[in-house]
Structure 1
Amino acid sequence: MRHVPYYPDEDSKLRASNVQVRRGGNCPNTLEVLQQLLRQEQGARLSDRVMLYLVTCLPSRNAPATERIIESFGVDTSVDFSRCIFRDENEEPASSYIIRSSATGSRTIVNYNDLAEMSFDEFVATAESLGSEDAWFHFEGRIPATTLQCIQWLRRSKPKARVSVEVEKPGREGLENLVAEADVVFFSRSWAEVRCAIAHFLPPKASGNP
């Protein structure tokens, strides 16, 4: 993220007032929160009953970017990365470049992702390797068609599994189908503002004769 005093004009030069580099991603962030909650519940020790897995596409195992992502969870992390799908032909992860204007508070986001997305077959192979029948699967609603296939497979093959999904962009086609299939849904603010109807109640009329 680059903090700038104002949004720059095209083909201009502007000095940033601050630069921040963070690991992002809805699923990694969710795992980070779960890891913290487990630490609080168990004190300094993590529960042996709860296993946390990150299942996502990453660059090559030996890529410096992959090492930075894994290290960002901390040396004592309880997150298991063995089920990640490593794309050996890639060196860079999915990333976002954010320009934040101090003048208006606006955030302009430029995304980059050269990684091939996870396929349905790759998900099935990974889910079967976990073994547990009552696991909780959390999905990002980025590719609704593939995600819907994965959820429907879970309903057939692991009926005891719980499913949650994160829904962000209100204009993305197919997200409503994920909402209908999931047990728990996390809505973004933009989705709530655009897609959720707001009921307006008029005050009751005064009683009595005119």
Structure 2
Amino acid sequence: MTLVAIGACYIDTILTVPHYPGEDEKLRSSSLCRRRGGNCPNTLEVLGQLLQHGPRTEGSMLNLISVLPSLSSVSSNKIQEGLGILVDIKNCIYREQFSEPASSYIIMSQASGSRTIVNYNELPEMTRDEFASAIEPFHAASEVPWFHFEGRAPGVTIECIHHIRSRFPEALVSVEVEKPGRLGLQKLAEAGDVVIYSKGWAQSNGYTTAEECLRKQMPQTRRASLLCCTWGDEGAAALEPKTGNFAHIPAHTSEQIVDTIGAGDTFIAGLLYGLIYRSKDWDFPRRLEFANHLAGLKVTQEGFKDLHKVFRLGPY
């Protein structure tokens, strides 16, 4: 199965500090880390590990569509290296007049465990026509791809989904509904076959639990076959609108939390792995359990290295 993930790619600079600094305060960082980030690139990196080390991976293809600087730039080369051998970026949209990718500056507070993120991106956003050109090579493939959207720039994203529906009528589309206050995410949810809501978005819309979010979203997402909502240390919930089946899985937090950056992206990697590559031998509670276990494992370590060890820790 071919998976095409569409979203922004960042270079993250992460500063770990004892507490979040006040205005005009001078503070010494205890550590500094630079690594590639972005929702979809993170998800694909983890999926690449799962496909490389897990069962039932024959013929799997992972593709990123993102706006990147020049194809020959040092940044684009490093992004490809960091994604692993199973992730293809040849269909990305390259801005040849730019040499620097989008950047995120993240302050991690040891006192609260919170993270504060400041983004900078001078690359012009993807257009619907550019997206249509980028995915055209997949039309000649023998398999219909699965398309996954970050939920960025909802106005353009909904146009891209409409294009998929006309050009790839049998394709499945999953969408992330994550950022609180971002206009247009509800329309993306209504257009998706699989919808993943964040706790932040749910709370900003008045929902007090993951289950409440899913049950109240169900009448508005008539196309969806699966709705999922993550709720931090309270785990995650999933609902199949067409059957009414519901499951809630507690969070895996048995070890000390080290790094929460990318935990949601890791959860989505686990969920997509279960939906796309283990559809015949896992029911949806098992897929949810695997995604939760994988995300729980991620927060106990820095970065995404060797998360495929989850296969040794559970009945997967």
Q: Same fold (TM over 0.5)?
A: yes
Does 2:96 align with 1:88? yes
Q: Which shifted more, 175-184 or 8-17?
A: 8-17
Q: Which shifted more, 61-70 or 113-122?
A: 61-70
Aligned partner of 1:56: which letter?
Answer: S
Offset of residue 142 of structure 1: 1.1
Offset of residue 94 of structure 1: 1.1
Aligned partner of 2:50: which letter?
Answer: L
Offset of residue 42 of structure 1: 4.3
Q: Answer whether contact 2:44 2:83 (CA < 8 A) is retained.
A: no
In the superposition, the TM-score normalised over structure 2's length comes to 0.58
Q: What is the SS of the residue equivalent to 1:147?
A: helix
**Identity of paired residues, percent?**
52
Does 2:133 align with 1:105? no
1:1-210 map, 5 Å: 1-42=14-55, 47=58, 49-74=59-84, 77-131=85-139, 132=141, 134-195=144-205, 197-198=207-208
- How many residues are matched? 194
Q: Please identify which structure carries the higher helix content.
A: 2
Flag structure 1 segments of 5+ consecutive residues without an equivalent. 200-210
Structure 1 pair 61/103, CA: closer, same or farther in 2 (3 Å)? Answer: same
Offset of residue 135 of structure 1: 0.6
Aligned partner of 1:98: which letter?
Answer: I
CA distance in 2, matches of 1:17, 1:170: 30
In the superposition, the TM-score normalised over structure 1's length comes to 0.85
How large is the RMSD of aligned CA atoms in angstroms?
1.8
Offset of residue 196 of structure 1: 5.7
Aligned partner of 1:28: which letter?
Answer: P
**Structure exhibiting the larger radius of gyration computed from Cα positions:** 1
Flag structure 2 segments of 5+ consecutive residues without an equivalent. 1-13, 213-316
Structure 1 pair 122/58, CA: closer, same or farther in 2 (3 Å)? Answer: same
Q: What is the SS of the residue equivalent to 2:68?
A: strand
Offset of residue 188 of structure 1: 1.6
CA distance in 1, matches of 2:118, 2:207: 30
Offset of residue 13 of structure 1: 2.7
Q: Answer whether contact 2:181 2:204 (CA < 8 A) is retained.
A: no
CA distance in 2, matches of 1:148, 1:17: 42
